A and B are shown apart, each in its own frame.
Chain A
Amino acid sequence: MSDRRLRAVIFVLSAAGAGIAAYLTYAHLADVPVVCVTGGCETVQHSHWSELGGIPVAAIGLAGYVLLAATALFASDLARGIGAASAVGGFAFALFLVWVQAAEIHAFCQWCLASDALLALIVVAALARAWRAAPPGGGSSRPARRPTGSGLARPAAPAPPRR
């Protein structure tokens, strides 16, 4: 899969995740019931675990998804690195929250689990994107300048235009 396609996948998945996180943030702040088929969303939303220092955990998730979507908009090394690191970090935190739902709250929120599934896919895409572009060891991922003195060396093909 090309870098461009991976970026598109990451962007779409991040936008979907941001939608879920925005909905849960709104429901938390406006104190309105959450559409829920598992019956555990209310319990999770009203637990002590739903806020960190007065900030809804869903809002932290929303910020994370916005960051991930933003990294998909740029083709730079930095964007790839930040995307991979934040996806893995976010997924580690999401796994902790799954444990909290199971072991501490004893209820599961379907929206949170859907978000976790999206994040798992984003991790795969973001890591694939960053790993492929990163050369082993030190140095930059920018292609090294080829020696042009040899008659055997073919001139480097122009890079395809990036959109």
Chain B
Amino acid sequence: MSRRTLIIAVAAAVVAAGALAAALALTTGGSKKPAAALGAATVAQMLNGIPQQGTTLGRADAPVTLVEFADPQCPYCGEWAKRALPVIVSRYVRTGKVQIVFNGLTFVGSDSEKALRAALAAGRQHRFWNVIELLYQNQGTENTGWVSDSFLRKVGASVPGLDVQRMLRESSQGSVTTQIAQAAAVAQQAGVNATPTFAVGKTGGAMQLVQISSFDASGLAPSLDSALAS
């Protein structure tokens, strides 16, 4: 093979590589972004700029604390997360009046535990709320195995700045198991027997269980306003 033939062959290979690249770009939709979980943009926008520490959302010096007792698989919790939470966050949390503490429960079944473990592990990266809210946005049918590793990776990849691999690795740690056990003990002590259940009180003070009248923000707003006024 002469050098001229060699140059022609190499040039042809570069052209073939270009064709392959073009095929890849065309079949993927070119500039299309990586697949994101449903509601990724909404959740990211809702939580953007709000401090998170573990399972707590909002400023540490917020005068009122709202505790949410919820299971990642509970459909009513999902409904509350979609309808009420954005308003509560916008009106009370973003303004520094209220901090929300998520007390995760897993009584519905195995998928609850897997989902909660991932969210708690994301909490180590200050992104618990991003993950738990995306889980609610993409909630599947109870205990059908919908919380697969693949699903969790997709959810994790939709959270800006989250190290998904680290989240998955840390989700099976013993400290997460302890955290879940502690949350269950807190719920039992508070007399929680259904989800979602809420408790409201002055930060650092006694908490009162609250019966919500609806799954939109108006179901909880009076309790929060009352705690803020007291």
Contact = CB atoms under 8 A, between A and B. Distances in A.
Dominant secondary structure at the A interface: helix
B1 A47 contact: no
A96 B1 contact: no
B194 to A, nearest CB: 35
B14 A137 contact: no
Interface in A98-130: 104-105, 127, 130
Interface string A11-49: 000000000000000000001111010010111001111
B1 A140 contact: yes
Q: Chain B, interface size: which category?
A: 35 or more
Given A46-B34, A53-B27, A141 B156 contact: no
A51 B17 CA distance: 15
B166 interface: yes
Interface residues of A, number: 46
B157 A49 contact: no
Contact of A93 (B9, B10, B20, B154): B20
Given A131-B6, A135-B2, A138-B4, A48 B35 contact: yes
Contact of A134 (B3, B13, B21): B3
Contacts of B153: 33, 42, 46
Contacts of B20: 52, 60, 93
A89 B1 contact: no
A15 to B, nearest CB: 21
Interface in B161-178: 163-166, 168
A127 B28 CA distance: 32
Given A31-B149, A33-B149, A52 B1 contact: no
A43 B2 contact: no
Contact of B9 (A48, A52, A84, A136): A84
Nearest to B8: A85
B1 A77 contact: yes
A39 to B, nearest CB: 4
A43 B164 contact: yes
Interface in A60-94: 60, 77-78, 80-82, 84-86, 88-90, 92-93
Interface string B26-44: 0111011111000000000
Given A41-B165, A49-B24, A138 B34 contact: no
Interface in B9-64: 9-10, 12-14, 16-18, 20-21, 23-24, 27-29, 31-35
Nearest to A133: B1
A101 to B, nearest CB: 11
A57 interface: yes
Contacts of B5: 81, 134, 138
A139 interface: yes
B14 A33 contact: no
B6 A81 contact: yes
A31 B34 CA distance: 16
A48 B157 CA distance: 13
Given A48-B32, A52-B23, A84-B9, A96 B163 contact: no
Lowest 5 CB-CB distances: which A-B pairs, in order?
A89-B13, A85-B13, A92-B17, A47-B34, A93-B17
Interface of B: 1-6, 9-10, 12-14, 16-18, 20-21, 23-24, 27-29, 31-35, 149-150, 153-154, 156-157, 163-166, 168
26 contacts: A33-B153, A34-B165, A36-B165, A39-B165, A42-B157, A42-B165, A46-B35, A49-B24, A49-B28, A51-B28, A52-B20, A78-B1, A84-B6, A85-B10, A85-B12, A89-B16, A89-B17, A92-B13, A92-B14, A104-B31, A105-B34, A131-B3, A135-B3, A138-B4, A140-B1, A141-B1
